[in-house]
Structure 1
Amino acid sequence: MVASCATCQQKAQQVKAMQTNIDFWPTTLKLKNSSDLICDESLRYLAGKRLVCRGRWQQRTVAVKLFFHPKSAKRHWLREKQGVESLISNQLSTPSLLFAGTLIDGTPVLIFDYLSSAKTALDVWKELDNDEARLDLLQQIVVEISAQHRCGLWQQDLHLGNFLISDNQIYTIDGDGIKSSTDGKELTTKKRRNNLALLLAQLSPNYDHLATPAIEHYAATSQKNMRDLKSITEKELPHIRTTRRHKYVKKAYRNCSEFIRHNSLRQVAIYRRDADAGLIKQFLNNPDQLITDGTILKNGNSATVAQVTIAGDSLAIKRYNIKGIWHILKRCWRPTRAWISWGNAHRLTISGIDTPQPIAILEKRLGPLRTSSYYLCVHENTPSATDYF
């Protein structure tokens, strides 16, 4: 068992190295059936769990999912496979599953047809600049969701990123989240309401005015009575949105696809996975030097704020100052102000409220005791509200 775990860890390290070091691309992997799988480009890396890449197999371009978590790889591979097969068996649009098996070393792998011109519905949504186009996209999505519901299927983690759009065709991806009713019959009204609310909860409250016409379109497509669905915006949507906000803020404090967390005896750091590596290195190694080299915006007893420019990006770094030994003793057991600011910034973001993008936080510690802390975010060169008075 120990040897097996060690092997799994080696696989995880190998695949992570592939994702992070461009010198490894393209990489040729050997499938268990002895055919070659060439991985050309990383598309998505979920820390410690799986890697999605574009590649070539049997003279065609493919999308590849590699699963390498030491404990759950096979379980996630099986759920993904079964979810995709459920979509296919019900004649619902999803990229063709070309291969389901393992690499020669036992790493679970799924190979799909690659849709070269595809964009996720989320990427398309971000490009839209008017409500008419946004509603049209939502209506196309709810038509696909309606078809899934009629087949007794629903997406447990429903969001716009789970749909690809290619040549005006909607494709459902992420089979891992596909669930089915036990009796194979279409979903109950309650499950339909919850699933629709889950989709709408992913959108900013700024677009809540699009919810009712989208629900009306779903009702017409599903041949359901609108009276059974119209109160979604008043009941399920607020509840799911609150739950989602809470989960996202918790996620912002741990390792995941969006954030990296480092713990040590002397400090705890959390930063965006897509942040510039050189910037993060400077911030973690010597944040005080960044402040010294920057332009001081505020130099108070409680906090010091400086504007710095790194790699052409304007950033703000805030140090929450320690005023003395009694201040340390008073605050050392509580979350630091930087820690609280990090959570609140992501709470605002998930709520659709504009705030400077948080990049990283750093807490200096002595074991469990917190001392000074630092908060790094994008610097917005805009007027303060006080400038208007």
Structure 2
Amino acid sequence: MALDALTLASTLQTAGRHPALPFRVALADGRQLEMLRLFRVLPGKRLVGEAELAGNRVLAKLFIGRRSEQRWRQERAGLEALVFAGLPTPALVAAMPMAGGGHALLTDFLDPAESLAECWSRVAGRTAADDETLSLLAPAFTLVGRLHAAGLVQDDLHLANFLRHNGRLLVIDGDAVRVVSQPQAMPMADACANLAVLLAQLPVEWEDRWAALLPAYRAGAGEVSPDLPALRSQVARVRAWRLRDFLAKTVRDCTLFAVEQSFTRFSAVLRQDAEVLAPLLDAPDCAISAGLTLKDGGTCTVSRVLVGDRMLLIKRYNLKGVSHALGRLWRPSRAWHSWQEGHRLQFLGIPTPAPLALIEERCGPLRRRAWLVCEYCPGPNLLMHLSPDQVPPAEEARAMLNLFESMHRQRISHGDLKATNLLWDAGRILLIDLDAVVQHRLPGAHTRAWRRDRARLLRNWPAASILRHWLDDHLPAA
């Protein structure tokens, strides 16, 4: 078939996030690659998916951007470094330019296979003492040790860059593999910094289980032992960076979030929900009117709506009058703050209804009304659910203490810790009404805020009640 009947890199560059499938490209050696399914798209830069070449299934990475050759060479060099070091990685099938521009890198298509991130998502809620969870993570730490022993570093070290296939764990994403000192082992300072990137992605309570994970790392790296105080310091820095990076993504167009901005409007929505929520985002007030109104106050209107088979909550932040509107013009809306804090809590593993979308009315840089869309939680609030005349049942007690210990550890204050802002749902207590949530940088500021939160929570129940005395005894100290 003639080249002009095939898809060119220039066409793919302008195809956005959803190029029409299937499509075919010509390789420099005359063969044709048919792309069947896409796993990841970086618009105008790179496409990754399942493809067919000469009757064989392959994983294809197509580099189509302005720097395609540089990124293609980097990917190929990373895979070659892994092979040279004897580390398990999918076999390279072909790496060459495409006839119509851009570059292709093809590896074996492993089926069935799943990323370690997918495996982790099924067990992440378990305690750090769970042996099955530990055995799931240990092979990844051994592979990281082998990387470091070979003088290699994975600059994009996360669980999705490990692939499980036929009982083996493989390293993928050669683009992020960098040679530091191959074939000699990496300096311990560099190895410690890279290991911290992986440890930072585990829940904070896993710090007590590092002693069980580090032997797995040493099994690959040799009898070296990272300095634990230095490792803890590195992990804290990485956690802070990852959180800042994630929160920045919640308000810009990226793989996870679809963001649109004009002179009169700003909207952000989880990309996976963008299509189903599109009618609601186009007319949020119509959705509020059609739903069940739960609150209709001067500053806030709350409605429960059904979208498909999902029950959602829409919160509209109103403007009471001219003075109120003028006071809100230059500040991020309360919806914006709640959107970011909801994602902060979820990132830190603190239960809260999932924030799905944010809308702000704007006039250039000036902000007016705003809407927040979240998952709806049907559970009762703690004022209704708990009896003041008895200690909380064991499951509720455990959930309550886990919530407040997590918030205390992360220096997070709520600002209005009424029992009605704590919902009991399927063994968890969810935090809602996040308008005043703050993660404090300074311990002293958090201590003062927690003292206020703690006192506000206790005031929900009579001073002489059994429940209040139990809380006073078990909550983190003021």
Q: Which residue identity does 1:296 align to in structure 2?
A: T
Correspondent of 1:118 among 113, 119, 122: 113
Residue of structure 2 in register with 1:260 after alignment: 258
Q: Which residue identity does 1:120 align to in structure 2?
A: S
Q: Distance in 1 between matches of 2:218 and 2:86?
A: 21
- Specify every segment of 5 or more residues in structure 1 that has no aligned partner in the other structure, as ranges: 1-6, 19-23
Residue of structure 1 in register with 2:23 after alignment: 27
Q: Which residue identity does 1:243 align to in structure 2?
A: W
Q: Is the 8 A contact 2:151 2:180 kept in 1?
A: yes
1:200 equivalenced with 2:206 (yes/no): no
Residue of structure 2 in register with 1:3 after alignment: none
SS at match of 1:319: strand
Residue of structure 1 in register with 2:48 after alignment: 52
1:12 equivalenced with 2:10 (yes/no): no
Residue of structure 2 in register with 1:287 after alignment: 284
Q: Distance in 2 between matches of 1:382 and 1:200?
A: 34
Q: Deviations over 1:265-292 (max 9, x none)?
A: 110111111105142x223321111111
Q: Distance in 2 between matches of 1:353 and 1:51?
A: 34
CA-CA distance at 1:184 after TM superposition: 4.5
SS at match of 2:12: helix
Residue of structure 2 in register with 1:306 after alignment: 303
SS at match of 1:14: coil
1:211 equivalenced with 2:210 (yes/no): yes
Residue of structure 1 in register with 2:33 after alignment: 37
Q: Which is greater in Rg?
A: 2
Q: Which shows bigger deviation, 37-46 or 261-270? A: 37-46
Q: Deviations over 1:26-77 (max 9, x none)?
A: 32222222211111111222344322111111221111112233x3333322
Residue of structure 1 in register with 2:379 after alignment: 382
Residue of structure 1 in register with 2:101 after alignment: 106
Q: Distance in 1 between matches of 2:260 and 2:22?
A: 30
Q: Distance in 2 between matches of 1:8 and 1:371?
A: 42
Residue of structure 2 in register with 1:350 after alignment: 347
Residue of structure 1 in register with 2:248 after alignment: 250
Q: Distance in 2 between matches of 1:133 and 1:224?
A: 25
CA-CA distance at 1:233 after TM superposition: 5.5
- Specify every segment of 5 or more residues in structure 2 that has no aligned partner in the other structure, as ranges: 1-7, 387-460, 462-478
SS at match of 2:319: coil
Distance 1:56 1:207, change over 3 A: same
Q: Deviations over 1:128-181 (max 9, x none)?
A: 367211111221111111111011101111111000000111111111111111
CA-CA distance at 1:212 after TM superposition: 2.4
Q: Distance in 1 between matches of 2:350 and 2:68?
A: 37
Aligned residue pair count: 375
Q: What does residue range 90-239 of structure 1 map to in structure 2 within 5 Å? A: 90-128=85-123, 131-182=130-181, 184-226=183-225, 228-231=226-229, 234-239=232-237
Distance 1:85 1:15, change over 3 A: farther
Residue of structure 1 in register with 2:330 after alignment: 333
Q: Deviations over 1:345-364 (max 9, x none)?
A: 11111111122111110111
Identity of aligned residues (%): 31
Q: Distance in 2 between matches of 1:47 and 1:11?
A: 8
Distance 1:350 1:106, change over 3 A: same
Q: Distance in 2 between matches of 1:74 and 1:15?
A: 20
Q: Is the 8 A contact 1:206 1:352 kept in 2?
A: no
Correspondent of 2:77 among 67, 78, 82: 82
SS at match of 1:56: strand
Q: Distance in 2 between matches of 1:48 and 1:250?
A: 21
CA-CA distance at 1:25 after TM superposition: 2.7
Q: Deviations over 1:285-339 (max 9, x none)?
A: 2111111111112211121111111110111111111111222211111111111
Q: Distance in 1 between matches of 2:222 and 2:12?
A: 49
Q: Distance in 2 between matches of 1:344 and 1:9?
A: 40
CA-CA distance at 1:221 after TM superposition: 3.9
Q: Distance in 1 between matches of 2:194 and 2:40?
A: 25
